Amino acid sequence: MKHESVEINSGLLIVLTLVAISIGGLVEIVPLFHIKDTVEEVKGVRPYTPLEQRGRDLYIREGCYACHSQMIRPFRDEMMRYGHYSLGAESKYDHPFQWGSKRTGPDLARVGGKYSDEWQTQHMVNPQALVPDSVMPPYPWLLSTELDYSDIEQRMIALKRTGVPYSLSEEEFRRNVEEYGEEMAKKLHIPNAKATLEEQAKSRNWDGDPSRVTEMDAMVAYLQMLGTLVDFSQYEEGYFAKFR
Amino acid sequence: MSTNNTSKEVETTGHVWDGDLREYSNPLPSWWLWTFYGTIVFSLIYWVLYPTWPIGNDFTKGIKTIEVKDEQGKVIYDGHWNTRALLLDEMRNSPAALRQKEGIEMVKNASYEQILASPEMMSFARSMAKGLFGDYCAACHGTGGQGVLPYFPNLADDDWLWGGKVENIQKAITSGLKGNMPGFPTIQGQALDDLALYVLSLSGEKVDAAAAERGKKGYAMCMGCHGADGKGNAMLGAPNLTDKVWTVANVPGAGSIEGMKQEITNVIHKGIKREMPAFGHRLKDYEIKMLTVYVHEMGGGK
């Protein structure tokens, strides 16, 4: 085929351009579906419980990602400040992931357990009361609004379709018991979702008021588990370097 | 386009559209062309040296390798070159890490007495702990350690709930703290007011002496923790009520005796639950050590 016939025939030009671009895209994307060697095998990563998942939804609703990333990059300064760099496996159940690169506030990938529940609640209600120079806006309505979890089952089913191992059938439940232990498997069982959500919300008094389930309960439960799933002391230091 | 603008010197591609439209065939500038060839050569070399191409479930690792040794000289990574391995190396062997390592080794192997007595170690610990304090503690205790009434105690005064010795401070940071005073909702009305006034009298506030005397009886319930003399108990984190330092009740900010009384009755009625998270798993031992001397010095520790 002569170059000229491509240039003067716009239909053909469009088709061939698409072919050329897709080859580039496919070469970049398809291998990622197959390569096992770049995703670290680590113990401990599990799906979010219903309460944490609602907290995550609120995190997205409020646009916290506009100022906070959730990805510690493999640099010395980041390791010194935030802890171990984030692993791909740690966000494998995130839909969508919250990695980001906009850091008006600090990275939150390992904020779980760094502060008390009370601090998280007070800080969310009025950041400047605790950190006078903070530019973080207040979110007082999280504390006064009851959490809406009427559609929690549907939310979990939607996530299940994307590959998050929530269980619906007895068989899936047993698989989760093996994988995550009885207690956690119950929380990941969709038919139990409302009951376990309430139970978790009241178990720890997240927002300081165990009598009701507020949006703050969900938000604090979510923040307090961020980055806590993998026990890095169990791995040799060089282990993760093999995967890059 | 005007036709007389056509230059005769430049070759055209030979294509003709609409009878008279032609396209110049200018050669690419040679600097551009050679840069382009250069990038191709560069990528060929890169493919050979570094991890690049996916193949099946695997990827080409490249022939460049990197070996990383830990402090004891043991090899902790020996394999293909990649950024995570570089980081492992940088965490240990970069000039900045080595400079820090010297100071860390010094502090690691020294006792608290030795550190506190050595200006050199103190200045190193101070510089490193300042950053750690900013990252991990300042959100609650404030950048200068001044705290936030009534949630987070002041660390910069020389008044301690749990004791101001280095051992106390180290324990607080490592295992966290649970400040816990039960509420006394059954104490009410006059008895509550009197008790509150008695508590205020302990630190020398000018209150109605007769009322305070009446309140003394109720204080029997408080002695177990705050002590018969009100001097507190560092084992339980129960504060001294006789000094004028307040960590929960905002007595200094109350303005009037009535306001002060309100602050105290609130505490008695509702009780207190405060929590400081444990940092033992998050911070390294030497980091806790440096924070300990930093906080100790901040409060002019005991």
A218-240 pLDDT tens trace: 999 999 999 999 999 899 888 88
d(CA B149, CA B248): 6
Task: Give the DSSP H/E element, type plus range, for residue B104.
Answer: helix B95-108
Buried b (16+ CB within 10 A) or exposed e, A154-182: ebbeebbeeebbbbeeeebbeebbeebee
Which of A31, A76, A132 lies closest to B54 in CB terms?
Answer: A31
Nearest-by-CA chain B residue for A224: B277
What is residue B116's predicted lDDT score, i.e. its pLDDT? 93
> With contacts defined as CB-CB under 8 Å, which chain A residues touch B76?
236-238
DSSP assignment, residue B152?
B
Residue of B nearest to A119 (CA): B140
Task: Flag whether pLDDT at B6 surpasses 60.
Answer: no
Distance from C-alpha of B185 to C-alpha of A26, rounded to nearest angstrom: 69
Residue A37: closest C-alpha in chain B: B58
Q: What is the mean pLDDT of residues A29-44?
A: 80
Tokens of B132: 């750690």
Q: What is the mean pLDDT of chain A?
A: 93
For tokens 């005064």, name the residue: B157
**pLDDT for position B1:** 44
Report pLDDT digits (tens) over A75-89: 999 999 999 999 989
* Contact list, B136 vs chain A (CB under 8 Å): 114
Residues B116-159 have pLDDT tens digits of 999 999 999 999 999 999 999 999 999 999 999 899 999 999 89
User: In chain B, whose CA is at the least distance from the CA of A208?
Assistant: B273
Q: Please tell me if residue B74 touches chain A, with a CB cutoff of 8 Å.
A: no
Chain B residues near residue A132 by CB distance under 8 angstroms: 142
Element containing residue B75 per DSSP (H, E)? strand B75-80
CA-to-CA distance for A103 and B187, rounded, in angstroms? 50
Nearest residue on chain A to B139, judged by CA atoms?
A131
Q: Are A205 and A184 in contact (CB under 8 A)?
A: no
The shortest CB-CB distance from A244 to any of B15, B55, B82 is to B82
- The secondary element (H helix, E strand) that includes residue B13 is strand B12-17
CA atoms of A101 and A82, how far apart (whole Å): 15
DSSP string covering A93-154: T-SS-------SS---TT-TTTS-HHHHHHHHH-HHHHSTT--PPP-THHHHSBP--TTHHH
pLDDT for residue B302: 54
Q: Which long-range contacts (CB under 8 A, 24 or more apart) does B18-23 make?
A: none
Q: In this model, does residue B184 exceed pLDDT 50?
A: yes
Query: How distant is the Cα of A51 from the closest Cα of chain B, in angstroms?
Result: 22
pLDDT digits (tens, 9 = 90+) for A105-144: 999 999 999 999 999 999 999 999 999 999 999 999 999 9
Q: Comparing A6 with A109, which gets the higher pLDDT?
A: A109
Positive or negative: CA dihedral A177, A219, B171, B251: negative
Average pLDDT, integer, range B190-202: 95
CB B265 within 8 A of CB B197: no
Least confident of A15-29, B10-24, B46-60: B10-24
Convert the pLDDT of each residue in A181-218 to its tens digit.
999 999 999 999 999 999 999 998 899 888 999 999 99
Q: What is the pLDDT of residue B255?
A: 86
DSSP category for residue B235: T
Q: Which helix (H) or strand (E) covers residue A182, if one does?
A: helix A182-187
Which residue segments constitute the domains of chain B, with CATH numbers given? 1-93 (no CATH), 130-298 (1.10.760.10)
Q: Which residues 148-167 of B have a C-beta within 8 angstroms of A?
A: 148, 151-152
Q: Please give, rounded to a whole number of angstroms, the shortest distance from the CA of A150 to a CA of chain B.
A: 32
Confidence at B3, pLDDT banded by 50, 70, 90: low
Nearby residues of B128 by Cβ (< 8 Å), 6 or more positions away: B100, B103, B104, B287, B290
Average pLDDT in chain B: 91
Q: Which residues of B touch A4 (CB under 8 A)?
A: 15
Measure the CA–CA gap between B292 and B35, rounded to whole angstroms: 57
Interchain contact, B135 vs A237, CB within 8 Å:
no
Sign of CA pseudo-dihedral B155, B156, B160, B161: negative
The percent of residues above 90 in pLDDT, for chain B, comes to 75
- Chain A residue nearest residue B146, CA to CA: A130
Domain ranges of chain A: 2-34, 50-241
Its pTM stands at: 0.88
Inform me whether the C-beta atom of residue A28 falls under 8 Å from chain B C-beta atoms.
Answer: no
For residue A7, the chain B residues in CB contact (below 8 A) are 15
Quick one: DSSP state of residue A167? B
Q: Quick check: B198 and B219 in contact, CB under 8 A?
A: yes
Share of chain B above pLDDT 70, in %: 96
User: Does the structure show a pLDDT above 80 at A60?
Assistant: yes
Distance of alpha carbon B75 from alpha carbon B77, whole angstroms: 6
Nearest to B152 by CA among B136, B138, B141: B141
Q: Rounded to whole angstroms, how far apart are CA atoms B295 and B125? A: 11
Cβ within 8 Å, pair B139-A34: no
Backbone angles phi, psi at A232, to 5 degrees: -70, -20
Provide the pLDDT for residue B2.
46
Cβ contact B148–A129 (<8 Å): yes
Q: To the nearest whole angstrom, how far is the Cα of A131 from the nearest Cα of chain B?
A: 6
Yes or no: say if A196 and A186 are a contact pair by the CB < 8 Å rule. yes
The answer, yes or no, to whether residue A1 has pLDDT greater than 70, is: no
B123 in contact with A, Cβ within 8 Å: no
Q: How many angstroms separate the CA atoms of B1 and A230, rounded?
A: 68
CATH class of A50-241: mainly alpha
Candidates B57, B69, B104, B276: best to mutate against A (most CBs of A within 10 A) is B57
pLDDT reading at A243 higher than 90: no
Q: Is A39 helix (H, G, I), strand (E, B) or coil?
A: coil
Closest CB to A130: pick one of B55, B76, B148: B148
The band of A61, judged by pLDDT with boundaries at 50, 70 and 90, is: very high
